[in-house]
A and B are shown apart, each in its own frame.
Chain A
Amino acid sequence: MIVRSRSKRKSGPRKSPPARRQAESKAESQARSTSKSQAGSKVNPKGAAALFALLAAFALMLVGLPGSEARLARLEPELNRQLASREYHIDPGELMDLMYNNKLHLFVIDVRDEVDFNLFHLRDAIWKPVVQMSAECCRRLRAEGIKVVLSNDEVRAEQAWKHLTANEVLNVYILAGGVNLWLDIYKDGLPGPPHEAITGVGDDTLRHEIDSALGHVPEFALPPHDLVGRREYPTKVKVARPVAVEGGGCG
């Protein structure tokens, strides 16, 4: 007869002896700490690259791009050289040709005082003194097209030209001799000096007597078409970017 022990035994897996349990738990904890240290020493390259790019962009946001004053200060020597060479001073004859050229967008920007502007201004001229040339205004002027700034002589026009050019507006030119020379030629019928002889010297005051506010009404605000080509001048207007879009892209 077999007598079995009646001591209570719990069901479940057989438990290993305490010494072996201790060794196993020690091995497990060592394995966990090893994997943790290995994971800590490995840098996720994607995360590092993303973090670096974000930091670079954030730093750029803080640094910012050069403002118009900083750009003007940086560009001023070159701008003054260009003004001295008069490569952006266009003849009144060339401006009139441009006014009749319907293949180009032309913006005539009058930077004189409002009083002078009301007395007389060219047909379709926009009154915009330099102090009103905000960043938003410059942004809108960056659209394709030729911009010609003018004043009574050239002083304010050259200031406006520098301001617009420093604010990344391209295709900006200056009316050589200003409104005074324009009126000499197209109001008084004078032949006007050859283009090379136009110096633009003057204090930017309107020399012509105009009794009332004529605006753009007089005929000499846009002289007759048969006067196109009457003056000889070197063509200076070059479109810095093509008017027609050329396609591009990575395909």
Chain B
Amino acid sequence: MAPLDLSTLSNLTRILIAVGLGFGFGFCLERAGFGDARRLAAQFYFTEMRVLKVMFTSIITAMLLLFWGVALGWIDYAALWVNPTYLWSGILGGFILGLGFILGGYCPGTSLVAAATLKIDGLVFVLGCLAGVFVFGEVVPGLRGFWEQHAFYGRLTLADWFGVPAGVAVFGVMCLAVSMFWGAEKLEAIFGGKARGGSS
């Protein structure tokens, strides 16, 4: 029964698995072009929607595999970690992340991808991330009350929130994804075409 209990493996094995998964993830990000800040920032100007397409594709792929595994009895859904929902801290943190993303052209993961290919802006972004992490660590005792006391919903999924079966939620997300892909293509045609025409 999945998910596998990695705690039964040795430390070295777990480290090697983590390294392998990290390598694969970074490889896929780089191959998708996420080591280029211009492509990442273009998302916010609707000229290139690669980030949305790749990320949402990965989301729906994992979602289908996961829930089909549960439906077939191969995966114990209860044993999977689902990040608890801290609503207001999630909204505020997402806003801050988005601000940094559009200013710097990277998110933390893609900055590592860029740094791995020795892009100077990626390296600087990584240093900025580390500085931010350090500062946050120093002030976190004063902030803990905010995310623990404001809108903590525990393990909350879309199916729980809407009160529908998980399969209905999966289908709803899939419809949303397909419509967003279609919309992204349209935006690229509108804004991406203008940008290319303006720059020529």
Give A contacts to B, CB under 8 Å. Answer: 46, 50, 53-54, 56-58, 60-66, 74, 139, 142-144, 168-170, 241, 245, 248-251
Q: Which of B160, B167, B174 contacts A62 (CB 8 A)?
A: B167
Residue numbers in B under 8 Å from A53 (CB-CB): 60, 64, 174, 177-178
Residue numbers in B under 8 Å from A245 (CB-CB): 83-84, 86
Q: Distance in Å from the Cβ of A118 to the closest Cβ of chain B?
A: 30
Do the beta carbons of A60 and B170 come within 8 Å of each other? yes
Which residues between 75 and 119 of chain B lie within 8 Å of chain A, taking CB atoms? 77-78, 81, 83-84, 86, 107-110, 112
Do the beta carbons of B168 and A66 come within 8 Å of each other? no
Q: Distance in Å from the Cβ of A48 to the closest Cβ of chain B?
A: 12
Q: Is B187 an interface residue (CB 8 A)?
A: no
Which residues between 139 and 184 of chain B lie within 8 Å of chain A, taking CB atoms? 154-155, 160, 165-168, 170-171, 173-175, 177-178, 181
Q: Distance in Å from the Cβ of A151 to the closest Cβ of chain B?
A: 23
Residue numbers in B under 8 Å from A143 (CB-CB): 154-155
Q: Distance in Å from the Cβ of A39 to the closest Cβ of chain B?
A: 19
Do the beta carbons of B83 and A170 come within 8 Å of each other? no
Interface size class of B (residues with CB under 8 A): 35 or more
Q: Is B42 an interface residue (CB 8 A)?
A: no
Interface contacts beyond A65-B165, A250-B109: sample of 12 additional A-B pairs, CB < 8 Å, sorted by A:
A53-B60, A53-B64, A53-B177, A54-B175, A56-B68, A56-B174, A57-B171, A65-B67, A65-B167, A74-B73, A144-B154, A251-B112
Tell me whether A66 and B73 are in contact in the complex, defined as CB-CB below 8 angstroms, given that A53-B64, A60-B64, A245-B84 are known contacts.
yes
Q: Distance in Å from the Cβ of B31 to the closest Cβ of chain A?
A: 15
Q: Distance in Å from the Cβ of A169 to the closest Cβ of chain B?
A: 8
Do the beta carbons of A251 and B108 come within 8 Å of each other? yes
Residue numbers in B under 8 Å from A50 (CB-CB): 178, 181
Q: Distance in Å from the Cβ of A66 to the closest Cβ of chain B?
A: 7
- Which residue among A57, A64, A250 has the maximum number of chain B CB atoms within 10 Å of its CB? A57
Q: Which of A56, A142, A251 contacts B109 (CB 8 A)?
A: A251
- Which residue among A56, A65, A245 has the maximum number of chain B CB atoms within 10 Å of its CB? A65
Residue numbers in A under 8 Å from B73 (CB-CB): 66, 74
Which 10 residue pairs of A and B lie closest in terms of their CB atoms, listed nearest first?
Answer: A251-B109, A168-B78, A251-B108, A57-B174, A143-B154, A61-B167, A61-B171, A57-B171, A60-B167, A50-B178
Residue numbers in A under 8 Å from B71 (CB-CB): 60, 63-66
Do the beta carbons of A251 and B107 come within 8 Å of each other? yes
Q: Is B123 an interface residue (CB 8 A)?
A: no
**A249 nearest CB neighbor, chain B only:** B83
Which residues between 1 and 31 of chain B lie within 8 Å of chain A, taking CB atoms? 25
User: How distant is the Cα of A250 from the Cα of B70 in the complex, in angstroms?
Assistant: 23
Q: Distance in Å from the Cβ of B53 to the closest Cβ of chain A?
A: 10
Q: Which of B68, B81, B107, B154 contacts A60 (CB 8 A)?
A: B68
Q: Distance in Å from the Cβ of A233 to the closest Cβ of chain B?
A: 24
Tell me whether A66 and B70 are in contact in the complex, defined as CB-CB below 8 angstroms, given that A53-B178, A57-B171, A58-B171 are known contacts.
yes
Tell me whether A170 and B78 are in contact in the complex, defined as CB-CB below 8 angstroms, given that A65-B67, A245-B83, A245-B86 are known contacts.
yes
Residue numbers in B under 8 Å from A62 (CB-CB): 167
User: How distant is the Cα of A53 from the Cα of B179 in the complex, in angstroms?
Assistant: 12
